[in-house]
Amino acid sequence: MSDAAALPSLKSDQLFINLGPQHPSTHGVLRLGLTLEGELIVKAVPDIGYLHRGTEKLAEVRGYHHCVVLTDRWDYVSAMPNNLVFCLAAEKLMGVKAPARADALRVMTCELNRCASHLLFFGTYGIDVGAFTPFLYAFREREMILDLFEMLCGARLTYNYIRLGGVGMDVSADWLTRAKEFLEYFKPRLDEYDTLLTYNPIFMARTRGVGLVSAAEAVNWGLSGPNLRGSGVNYDVRKHDPYSGYESYDFEVPLGQEGSCWDRYVCRVREMRQSIRIIEQALARLPEGPILAPGVAKVPKPAAGEVYAHVEGSRGDLGIYLVSDGGISPYRMHVRAPSFVNLAMLEEKLAGMKVADVIAVLGSIDIVLGEVDR
Protein backbone atom coordinates (compact mmCIF):
# COMPACT_ATOMS: atom_id res chain seq x y z
CA MET A 1 0.00 0.00 0.00
CA SER A 2 1.44 3.38 -0.97
CA ASP A 3 1.74 6.17 1.61
CA ALA A 4 -0.66 8.32 -0.43
CA ALA A 5 -3.40 5.69 -0.29
CA ALA A 6 -2.76 4.53 3.27
CA LEU A 7 -5.56 4.66 5.81
CA PRO A 8 -6.12 8.37 6.52
CA SER A 9 -7.08 9.94 9.82
CA LEU A 10 -10.88 10.02 9.81
CA LYS A 11 -13.50 12.21 11.42
CA SER A 12 -16.13 10.44 13.48
CA ASP A 13 -18.71 10.50 10.68
CA GLN A 14 -16.31 9.30 7.95
CA LEU A 15 -15.58 5.83 6.62
CA PHE A 16 -12.59 4.59 4.61
CA ILE A 17 -13.11 1.81 2.08
CA ASN A 18 -11.00 0.08 -0.55
CA LEU A 19 -12.41 -0.23 -4.05
CA GLY A 20 -10.17 -2.85 -5.61
CA PRO A 21 -7.59 -4.00 -6.44
CA GLN A 22 -9.68 -7.15 -6.87
CA HIS A 23 -13.01 -5.80 -8.03
CA PRO A 24 -14.54 -6.32 -11.48
CA SER A 25 -15.50 -2.66 -11.95
CA THR A 26 -11.87 -1.50 -11.67
CA HIS A 27 -11.11 -3.15 -15.05
CA GLY A 28 -7.87 -4.58 -13.71
CA VAL A 29 -5.84 -4.28 -10.54
CA LEU A 30 -6.54 -0.66 -9.68
CA ARG A 31 -7.11 0.25 -6.04
CA LEU A 32 -9.06 3.36 -5.07
CA GLY A 33 -8.85 4.49 -1.47
CA LEU A 34 -12.20 6.21 -0.82
CA THR A 35 -13.02 8.37 2.20
CA LEU A 36 -16.80 8.62 2.57
CA GLU A 37 -19.31 10.66 4.47
CA GLY A 38 -22.46 8.65 3.99
CA GLU A 39 -22.80 8.16 0.24
CA LEU A 40 -20.58 11.14 -0.64
CA ILE A 41 -16.90 10.83 -1.46
CA VAL A 42 -14.68 13.21 0.47
CA LYS A 43 -11.41 11.97 -1.00
CA ALA A 44 -10.38 9.45 -3.64
CA VAL A 45 -6.78 8.30 -4.06
CA PRO A 46 -5.84 5.99 -6.95
CA ASP A 47 -3.18 3.42 -6.01
CA ILE A 48 -1.43 1.81 -8.99
CA GLY A 49 1.53 -0.48 -9.58
CA TYR A 50 0.02 -3.91 -8.90
CA LEU A 51 0.71 -5.00 -12.50
CA HIS A 52 4.13 -3.39 -12.95
CA ARG A 53 6.37 -5.67 -15.03
CA GLY A 54 9.22 -3.32 -15.94
CA THR A 55 8.84 -3.49 -19.72
CA GLU A 56 10.76 -0.24 -20.27
CA LYS A 57 13.75 -1.73 -18.42
CA LEU A 58 13.38 -5.09 -20.16
CA ALA A 59 13.76 -3.33 -23.52
CA GLU A 60 17.31 -2.32 -22.58
CA VAL A 61 18.50 -5.96 -22.76
CA ARG A 62 16.50 -7.14 -25.77
CA GLY A 63 17.01 -6.67 -29.47
CA TYR A 64 14.68 -4.37 -31.38
CA HIS A 65 12.80 -7.30 -32.91
CA HIS A 66 12.30 -8.85 -29.47
CA CYS A 67 10.93 -5.61 -28.03
CA VAL A 68 7.84 -5.91 -30.23
CA VAL A 69 6.74 -8.87 -28.11
CA LEU A 70 6.91 -6.73 -24.97
CA THR A 71 4.55 -4.14 -26.44
CA ASP A 72 1.70 -6.65 -26.70
CA ARG A 73 1.55 -6.73 -22.92
CA TRP A 74 0.82 -3.02 -22.31
CA ASP A 75 -2.72 -2.54 -23.53
CA TYR A 76 -3.48 -6.23 -23.96
CA VAL A 77 -7.03 -5.40 -25.08
CA SER A 78 -5.68 -3.46 -28.07
CA ALA A 79 -2.21 -4.82 -28.83
CA MET A 80 -1.91 -3.95 -32.54
CA PRO A 81 -1.35 -0.18 -31.98
CA ASN A 82 1.25 -1.11 -29.33
CA ASN A 83 3.16 -3.13 -31.93
CA LEU A 84 2.79 -0.34 -34.43
CA VAL A 85 4.03 2.56 -32.31
CA PHE A 86 7.22 0.76 -31.33
CA CYS A 87 7.87 -0.27 -34.93
CA LEU A 88 7.31 3.29 -36.17
CA ALA A 89 9.83 4.61 -33.63
CA ALA A 90 12.41 1.92 -34.43
CA GLU A 91 11.90 2.46 -38.16
CA LYS A 92 12.64 6.15 -37.66
CA LEU A 93 15.92 5.23 -35.98
CA MET A 94 16.76 2.74 -38.72
CA GLY A 95 15.68 4.96 -41.63
CA VAL A 96 13.27 2.27 -42.85
CA LYS A 97 9.87 2.74 -44.51
CA ALA A 98 7.29 -0.04 -44.56
CA PRO A 99 5.92 -1.02 -48.02
CA ALA A 100 2.51 0.25 -49.11
CA ARG A 101 0.83 -3.14 -48.67
CA ALA A 102 2.19 -3.44 -45.14
CA ASP A 103 0.90 0.05 -44.31
CA ALA A 104 -2.59 -0.91 -45.49
CA LEU A 105 -2.50 -4.12 -43.44
CA ARG A 106 -1.32 -2.17 -40.41
CA VAL A 107 -4.24 0.24 -40.77
CA MET A 108 -6.77 -2.59 -41.19
CA THR A 109 -5.58 -4.58 -38.21
CA CYS A 110 -5.32 -1.53 -35.95
CA GLU A 111 -8.86 -0.44 -36.82
CA LEU A 112 -10.22 -3.95 -36.31
CA ASN A 113 -8.46 -3.96 -32.95
CA ARG A 114 -10.02 -0.58 -32.12
CA CYS A 115 -13.44 -2.11 -32.75
CA ALA A 116 -12.60 -5.13 -30.58
CA SER A 117 -11.42 -2.82 -27.80
CA HIS A 118 -14.47 -0.56 -27.96
CA LEU A 119 -16.75 -3.62 -27.99
CA LEU A 120 -15.15 -4.77 -24.75
CA PHE A 121 -15.73 -1.28 -23.33
CA PHE A 122 -19.33 -1.25 -24.55
CA GLY A 123 -20.13 -4.60 -22.96
CA THR A 124 -18.37 -4.06 -19.64
CA TYR A 125 -19.58 -0.48 -19.24
CA GLY A 126 -23.14 -1.73 -19.52
CA ILE A 127 -22.43 -4.18 -16.69
CA ASP A 128 -20.81 -1.39 -14.65
CA VAL A 129 -24.03 0.61 -14.63
CA GLY A 130 -26.41 -2.33 -14.31
CA ALA A 131 -27.16 -3.61 -17.84
CA PHE A 132 -25.95 -7.14 -18.50
CA THR A 133 -27.44 -7.84 -21.95
CA PRO A 134 -25.12 -5.50 -23.96
CA PHE A 135 -22.17 -7.61 -22.82
CA LEU A 136 -23.55 -10.64 -24.67
CA TYR A 137 -24.12 -8.64 -27.85
CA ALA A 138 -20.67 -7.05 -27.73
CA PHE A 139 -18.81 -10.32 -27.22
CA ARG A 140 -20.66 -11.97 -30.07
CA GLU A 141 -19.07 -9.47 -32.49
CA ARG A 142 -15.77 -9.26 -30.66
CA GLU A 143 -15.26 -13.01 -31.02
CA MET A 144 -15.62 -12.62 -34.78
CA ILE A 145 -12.81 -10.06 -34.85
CA LEU A 146 -10.60 -12.26 -32.69
CA ASP A 147 -11.32 -15.15 -35.06
CA LEU A 148 -9.98 -12.98 -37.89
CA PHE A 149 -6.83 -12.21 -35.89
CA GLU A 150 -6.37 -15.89 -35.06
CA MET A 151 -6.74 -16.76 -38.72
CA LEU A 152 -4.20 -14.06 -39.62
CA CYS A 153 -1.42 -14.59 -37.07
CA GLY A 154 -2.47 -17.44 -34.77
CA ALA A 155 -3.15 -15.26 -31.73
CA ARG A 156 -6.28 -13.73 -30.24
CA LEU A 157 -4.84 -11.30 -27.70
CA THR A 158 -1.07 -10.72 -27.95
CA TYR A 159 -0.38 -10.68 -31.65
CA ASN A 160 3.24 -9.77 -32.42
CA TYR A 161 1.88 -9.22 -35.94
CA ILE A 162 3.24 -5.80 -36.86
CA ARG A 163 7.00 -6.14 -37.27
CA LEU A 164 9.92 -3.83 -37.94
CA GLY A 165 9.64 -2.82 -41.58
CA GLY A 166 6.15 -4.19 -42.19
CA VAL A 167 4.02 -7.08 -40.93
CA GLY A 168 4.71 -10.72 -40.08
CA MET A 169 2.23 -12.45 -42.40
CA ASP A 170 0.29 -11.59 -45.54
CA VAL A 171 -3.48 -11.97 -45.77
CA SER A 172 -5.09 -14.72 -47.80
CA ALA A 173 -8.01 -14.34 -50.21
CA ASP A 174 -10.16 -16.28 -47.74
CA TRP A 175 -9.24 -13.85 -44.93
CA LEU A 176 -10.18 -10.84 -47.06
CA THR A 177 -13.53 -12.43 -47.90
CA ARG A 178 -14.28 -13.15 -44.25
CA ALA A 179 -13.26 -9.62 -43.25
CA LYS A 180 -15.69 -8.11 -45.77
CA GLU A 181 -18.45 -10.44 -44.60
CA PHE A 182 -17.83 -9.40 -41.01
CA LEU A 183 -18.06 -5.70 -41.84
CA GLU A 184 -21.39 -6.19 -43.59
CA TYR A 185 -22.67 -8.11 -40.58
CA PHE A 186 -21.27 -5.61 -38.07
CA LYS A 187 -22.70 -2.36 -39.47
CA PRO A 188 -26.36 -3.02 -38.58
CA ARG A 189 -25.31 -4.31 -35.16
CA LEU A 190 -24.21 -0.78 -34.24
CA ASP A 191 -27.81 0.37 -34.67
CA GLU A 192 -28.80 -2.40 -32.24
CA TYR A 193 -26.33 -1.07 -29.70
CA ASP A 194 -27.87 2.39 -29.85
CA THR A 195 -31.32 0.95 -29.26
CA LEU A 196 -30.13 -1.39 -26.54
CA LEU A 197 -27.94 0.95 -24.50
CA THR A 198 -26.93 4.32 -25.98
CA TYR A 199 -30.40 5.86 -25.80
CA ASN A 200 -31.74 3.68 -23.00
CA PRO A 201 -33.40 6.12 -20.55
CA ILE A 202 -31.94 4.45 -17.45
CA PHE A 203 -28.45 4.36 -18.93
CA MET A 204 -28.68 8.01 -19.97
CA ALA A 205 -29.86 8.99 -16.49
CA ARG A 206 -26.81 7.23 -15.00
CA THR A 207 -24.29 8.81 -17.37
CA ARG A 208 -25.47 12.16 -18.80
CA GLY A 209 -24.35 15.09 -16.69
CA VAL A 210 -22.15 12.78 -14.59
CA GLY A 211 -18.36 13.11 -14.41
CA LEU A 212 -18.25 16.34 -16.38
CA VAL A 213 -14.82 17.29 -17.76
CA SER A 214 -14.60 20.63 -19.56
CA ALA A 215 -12.47 21.06 -22.67
CA ALA A 216 -9.98 23.19 -20.73
CA GLU A 217 -9.70 20.58 -17.97
CA ALA A 218 -9.23 17.78 -20.50
CA VAL A 219 -6.39 19.64 -22.20
CA ASN A 220 -4.74 20.64 -18.91
CA TRP A 221 -4.79 17.05 -17.66
CA GLY A 222 -3.32 15.80 -20.93
CA LEU A 223 -6.28 13.56 -21.70
CA SER A 224 -6.42 12.00 -25.14
CA GLY A 225 -8.52 9.69 -27.24
CA PRO A 226 -12.29 9.47 -26.61
CA ASN A 227 -11.79 11.00 -23.15
CA LEU A 228 -10.48 14.20 -24.75
CA ARG A 229 -12.86 14.18 -27.70
CA GLY A 230 -15.79 13.53 -25.36
CA SER A 231 -15.14 17.03 -24.02
CA GLY A 232 -15.42 18.45 -27.54
CA VAL A 233 -11.68 18.81 -28.28
CA ASN A 234 -11.01 17.82 -31.87
CA TYR A 235 -7.67 16.05 -31.66
CA ASP A 236 -6.89 12.70 -33.24
CA VAL A 237 -3.32 11.65 -34.08
CA ARG A 238 -4.56 10.00 -37.27
CA LYS A 239 -5.71 13.42 -38.50
CA HIS A 240 -3.18 15.80 -36.90
CA ASP A 241 0.02 13.78 -37.33
CA PRO A 242 -0.85 11.01 -39.81
CA TYR A 243 1.13 7.79 -40.05
CA SER A 244 0.87 4.61 -42.16
CA GLY A 245 -1.04 6.54 -44.84
CA TYR A 246 -3.96 7.69 -42.66
CA GLU A 247 -3.94 11.02 -44.48
CA SER A 248 -5.34 9.23 -47.54
CA TYR A 249 -8.39 7.78 -45.75
CA ASP A 250 -11.74 9.51 -45.52
CA PHE A 251 -13.18 9.40 -42.00
CA GLU A 252 -14.62 11.68 -39.34
CA VAL A 253 -13.64 12.30 -35.72
CA PRO A 254 -16.68 11.95 -33.41
CA LEU A 255 -16.91 14.60 -30.67
CA GLY A 256 -18.90 14.91 -27.47
CA GLN A 257 -20.48 18.07 -26.12
CA GLU A 258 -20.31 18.44 -22.34
CA GLY A 259 -17.63 15.93 -21.41
CA SER A 260 -19.91 13.62 -19.45
CA CYS A 261 -19.65 9.85 -19.03
CA TRP A 262 -22.24 9.51 -21.79
CA ASP A 263 -20.18 11.68 -24.16
CA ARG A 264 -17.09 9.56 -23.61
CA TYR A 265 -19.17 6.43 -24.16
CA VAL A 266 -20.86 7.64 -27.32
CA CYS A 267 -17.56 8.75 -28.87
CA ARG A 268 -16.34 5.18 -28.71
CA VAL A 269 -19.53 3.76 -30.19
CA ARG A 270 -19.38 6.25 -33.07
CA GLU A 271 -15.67 5.62 -33.59
CA MET A 272 -16.49 2.03 -34.49
CA ARG A 273 -18.51 3.28 -37.45
CA GLN A 274 -15.51 5.32 -38.60
CA SER A 275 -13.19 2.36 -38.18
CA ILE A 276 -15.47 0.37 -40.48
CA ARG A 277 -15.19 3.16 -43.07
CA ILE A 278 -11.40 3.06 -42.88
CA ILE A 279 -11.19 -0.73 -43.13
CA GLU A 280 -13.53 -0.79 -46.14
CA GLN A 281 -11.33 1.78 -47.92
CA ALA A 282 -8.19 -0.21 -47.11
CA LEU A 283 -9.77 -3.42 -48.40
CA ALA A 284 -10.95 -1.74 -51.59
CA ARG A 285 -7.50 -0.47 -52.53
CA LEU A 286 -5.16 -2.99 -50.91
CA PRO A 287 -2.02 -2.72 -53.07
CA GLU A 288 0.04 -5.64 -54.27
CA GLY A 289 3.67 -5.99 -53.30
CA PRO A 290 5.93 -7.01 -50.43
CA ILE A 291 4.87 -6.91 -46.78
CA LEU A 292 8.34 -6.33 -45.34
CA ALA A 293 11.03 -3.77 -46.13
CA PRO A 294 14.31 -5.33 -47.34
CA GLY A 295 17.17 -5.72 -44.91
CA VAL A 296 15.27 -5.63 -41.61
CA ALA A 297 15.28 -9.38 -40.94
CA LYS A 298 18.85 -9.22 -39.65
CA VAL A 299 19.74 -7.90 -36.18
CA PRO A 300 19.33 -4.14 -36.50
CA LYS A 301 21.91 -1.76 -35.00
CA PRO A 302 20.56 1.72 -35.72
CA ALA A 303 22.87 4.69 -35.48
CA ALA A 304 22.97 6.59 -32.21
CA GLY A 305 20.08 9.01 -31.86
CA GLU A 306 16.68 9.58 -30.34
CA VAL A 307 13.19 9.63 -31.83
CA TYR A 308 9.57 9.97 -30.82
CA ALA A 309 6.63 8.31 -32.55
CA HIS A 310 2.96 8.24 -31.61
CA VAL A 311 -0.27 6.72 -32.83
CA GLU A 312 -3.97 7.03 -32.02
CA GLY A 313 -4.43 3.95 -29.90
CA SER A 314 -7.81 2.74 -28.73
CA ARG A 315 -7.38 4.66 -25.47
CA GLY A 316 -5.70 7.76 -26.83
CA ASP A 317 -2.36 9.21 -27.82
CA LEU A 318 0.12 6.34 -27.44
CA GLY A 319 3.73 7.46 -27.80
CA ILE A 320 7.22 5.93 -27.71
CA TYR A 321 10.43 7.82 -26.96
CA LEU A 322 13.32 5.67 -28.13
CA VAL A 323 17.05 6.30 -27.64
CA SER A 324 19.78 4.36 -29.44
CA ASP A 325 23.49 4.28 -28.55
CA GLY A 326 24.30 2.31 -31.68
CA GLY A 327 23.91 -1.11 -30.05
CA ILE A 328 21.54 -3.98 -30.69
CA SER A 329 19.17 -2.93 -27.87
CA PRO A 330 17.51 0.40 -27.13
CA TYR A 331 19.51 2.50 -24.67
CA ARG A 332 16.22 3.86 -23.31
CA MET A 333 12.56 3.33 -24.13
CA HIS A 334 9.76 5.34 -22.55
CA VAL A 335 6.06 4.77 -23.16
CA ARG A 336 3.59 7.65 -23.16
CA ALA A 337 0.66 5.52 -22.03
CA PRO A 338 -2.75 7.21 -22.48
CA SER A 339 -4.43 5.12 -19.77
CA PHE A 340 -1.87 6.31 -17.21
CA VAL A 341 -2.43 9.96 -18.12
CA ASN A 342 -6.22 9.63 -18.37
CA LEU A 343 -6.32 8.13 -14.87
CA ALA A 344 -5.05 11.40 -13.39
CA MET A 345 -8.50 12.99 -13.55
CA LEU A 346 -10.01 10.59 -11.02
CA GLU A 347 -8.70 12.06 -7.76
CA GLU A 348 -10.13 15.50 -8.41
CA LYS A 349 -13.29 14.48 -10.25
CA LEU A 350 -14.53 11.85 -7.79
CA ALA A 351 -14.51 14.19 -4.78
CA GLY A 352 -18.09 15.23 -4.00
CA MET A 353 -19.66 12.41 -6.02
CA LYS A 354 -21.73 9.51 -4.74
CA VAL A 355 -20.28 6.04 -4.49
CA ALA A 356 -22.49 4.72 -7.29
CA ASP A 357 -21.07 7.36 -9.65
CA VAL A 358 -17.49 6.19 -9.03
CA ILE A 359 -18.11 3.13 -11.17
CA ALA A 360 -19.75 5.17 -13.94
CA VAL A 361 -16.84 7.63 -14.09
CA LEU A 362 -14.10 5.01 -13.81
CA GLY A 363 -15.70 2.84 -16.48
CA SER A 364 -16.11 5.82 -18.82
CA ILE A 365 -12.37 6.54 -19.00
CA ASP A 366 -11.73 2.94 -20.13
CA ILE A 367 -8.34 2.21 -18.60
CA VAL A 368 -6.31 -0.96 -18.98
CA LEU A 369 -3.94 -1.54 -16.08
CA GLY A 370 -1.35 -3.31 -18.19
CA GLU A 371 -0.80 0.04 -19.88
CA VAL A 372 -1.02 2.08 -16.66
CA ASP A 373 1.58 0.06 -14.75
CA ARG A 374 3.69 -1.40 -17.58
Digit-coded pLDDT (tens) for 238-249: 999 999 999 999
Q: How confident is the model at residue 23 (pLDDT cuts 50, 70, 90)?
A: confident
pLDDT of residue 28: 80
Strand partners, 354: 40
Separation CA 33–CA 21 (nearest Å): 10
Question: What does the pLDDT average to over 5-9?
Answer: 62
Residue partners of 123: CB distance under 8 A and separation at least 6: 134, 135, 136, 137, 138, 139, 142
pLDDT over threshold 60, residue 215: yes
pLDDT over threshold 90, residue 356: no
pLDDT over threshold 60, residue 294: yes
Range 55-349 classified under CATH 1.10.645.10: yes
pLDDT tens by residue, 98-154: 999 999 999 999 999 999 999 999 999 999 888 899 999 999 999 999 999 999 999
pLDDT of residue 8: 66
Closest CA to 95 of 245, 303, 323: 303
pLDDT tens by residue, 9-20: 777 788 998 887
pLDDT of residue 19: 85
pLDDT of residue 177: 95
pLDDT of residue 3: 54
Separation CA 30–CA 48 (nearest Å): 6
Lowest-pLDDT range of 13-27, 246-260, 264-278, 300-314: 13-27
* Residue spans per domain, the chain: 55-349
In the chain, what percentage of residues exceed pLDDT 70? 98
The overall average pLDDT reported for the chain is: 91
